[in-house]
Structure 1
Amino acid sequence: MSLQSVQEPRSESPLSRERIVATAVELLDAQGLDGLTMRRLADRLGSGVMSLYWHVDNKEDVFDLALDSVLEYRGPPQIVASQDWRGEVVHMLEDWRASMLRHPWSASLLPRRALGPNILSRLELLSKTLSRAGVADADLNVAIWSLWNYVMGATITRANFDLSDDGGAATQQRLARLSERYPRIERSRLLLDNDWDGAFRKGLGFLLDGLAPRQ
């Protein structure tokens, strides 16, 4: 069964594909990738495992559907005609990052799954916006992959960087003792900088400066 909508067989079960996917997302949020099994999913749904297969092919199909469901993009709150291509791109990519941070399993799952309609729609909209901004067709793939890599790298780093305030302070003190070897890192207090959102937006600005068509 593909990601595309298909007619489902009639069943006495109250299950639906939508309910299975929503419950799978809840299970993934709570227990991560290793926590999703068809048995656990069926138990959460109050169903038998075999009943799930009226609606999904297998666990891999559930992964694909759950991933695509959390990456839906509804656009800015107010859709207006705008020449602000940078603002549109920033909103698109900040929303993408925020969606994955709400569901941290998605960042590690995305690179190894088939791309579903929601992520493909994001990429299509990104492509149209960059083209409208004047990015040449010959540069479009590089531009999109550069932005993809930036979002994925920033998201995975944020989701996995688990340094407490005390741990950061201890590491910073250690760097202070090694300041002759690592002077710039120590001076910038790199490991105490927790402005993840600000760093993401500023770094994205650097990338967009490079993508802006040269006059």
Structure 2
Amino acid sequence: MARNTDGLSRERIVETAVELLDSAGESGLTFRALSARLKTGAGAIYWHVANKDELLAAATDGALAGVTAAGRTPEEAIRAVAIDVFDAIDAHPWIGGQLARLTSQRTTLRILERLGQQVQALGVPAEALFYAASALLNYILGVAGQNAANARAQTWGTTRSEVIGAESELWASLDPAEFPFARAIAGQLRDHDDREQFLAGIDLIIAGIKQTSEAGTTQTSESGIK
């Protein structure tokens, strides 16, 4: 096999690793497969990346490079971060598992930082900052990761609407005495959009955070009354 080290860079290696992860998952990302895809030797890759853990961390960081906190208000900025992460994990399902690894800690911290700055801008009391920001982070990573996992678990040849439709019919057929709530929302399950459901959860968390901020402001004002 011809060896080609021309133009080989860390960026090119990471881009190719992302492609392999997307097509074959973490088990398919080996230095042998990477070498074959890049048409170079493993030694040339090791010059740029020390080991697979470092490569996975770099690939995760690269796949999430587009996450921004763009928005005119803290609420808009939080939604922007949330949907960017949701879309990135939807496009690259392997990211969800990687963000739980210590090697991806800096990537997770960057997401937390973007969220935390907006939580601060909402005026949340200092003692509640950790809980508010971590609640957002855990919701975003958890729901986005579960959504991607559900998509991967879907039986080949079936569509999302078929799967959700069958589940909705099951809910509607449940015992009304034991599952009155599930029966009541069966139609909403059938018709819901995953992205809209995800953002509705973000809005609920933001509403709770704002109440915490308002409560803190009220307590501060009351403590200043003589």
**Once the 2 structures are TM-superposed, how far is the Cα of residue 116 of structure 1 from its aligned partner?**
5.7
Contact 1:70 1:99 (8 Å CA) reproduced: yes
Once superposed, what is the RMSD of the aligned Cα atoms?
A: 2.2
5 Å matches for 1:72-87? 72-73=65-66, 75=68, 82=72, 84-87=73-76
Q: What is the TM-score normalised by the length of structure 2? A: 0.79
2-structure distance, mates of 1:74, 1:108: 18
Query: Partner letter of residue 175 of structure 1?
Result: W
Decide which of 144, 159, 181 is 1:155's aligned counterpart. 144
Q: CA deviation at 1:160?
A: 1.9
**For the Cα contact (< 8 Å) 1:67–1:109, is it kept in 2?**
yes
Q: Which residue of 2 aligns with 1:51?
A: 44
Would you say the 8 A contact 1:29–1:103 is kept in 2?
A: yes
Residues of 2 paired with 1:126 and 1:171: CA distance? 34
- Distance verdict in 2 for CA 1:205–1:171, change over 3 Å: closer
Report the counterpart of residue 3 of structure 1 in structure 2.
none
Q: Which has the higher contact order (CA 8 A, sep 6+)?
A: 1
Change (3 A) 1:171 1:130: closer
The answer to whether the 8 A contact 2:54-2:103 is kept is no
Counterpart Cα distance in 1 of 2:149 and 2:83: 18
Q: Does 1:16 align with 2:9?
A: yes
CA displacement at 1:117 relative to structure 2: 5.0
Partner of 1:205: helix, strand, or coil? helix
The residue number in structure 2 matching 1:30 is 23
Partner of 2:61: 68
Query: What 5-or-longer segments of structure 2 have no aligned partner?
Result: 155-159, 219-226
Identity level (%): 31
Alignment coverage as a number of residue pairs: 200
Is the 8 Å Cα contact of residues 99 and 105 (structure 2) preserved in structure 1? no
Cα distance 1:92–1:171, how it changes in 2: closer, same or farther (>3 A)?
closer
Q: Give the aligned partner of residue 209 of structure 1.
A: 207
Assess if the C-alpha contact under 8 Å between 2:96 and 2:145 holds in 1: yes
**Which has a greater percent of helix?**
2
In structure 2, the residue corresponding to 1:130 is in which secondary structure? Answer: helix
Q: State whether residues 69 and 114 of structure 2, in contact with CA within 8 Å, keep that contact through their aligned partners in structure 1.
A: no
| 2:173 corresponds to 1:177 | yes
The reply on whether 1:92 has 2:81 as its aligned counterpart is: yes
SS class of match (1:135) = coil
2-structure distance, mates of 1:203, 1:118? 23
Consecutive unaligned residues of structure 1, counting only runs of 5 or more, are 1-11
Residue 8 of structure 1 is matched in structure 2 by none
1:193 CA drift (Å) = 3.9
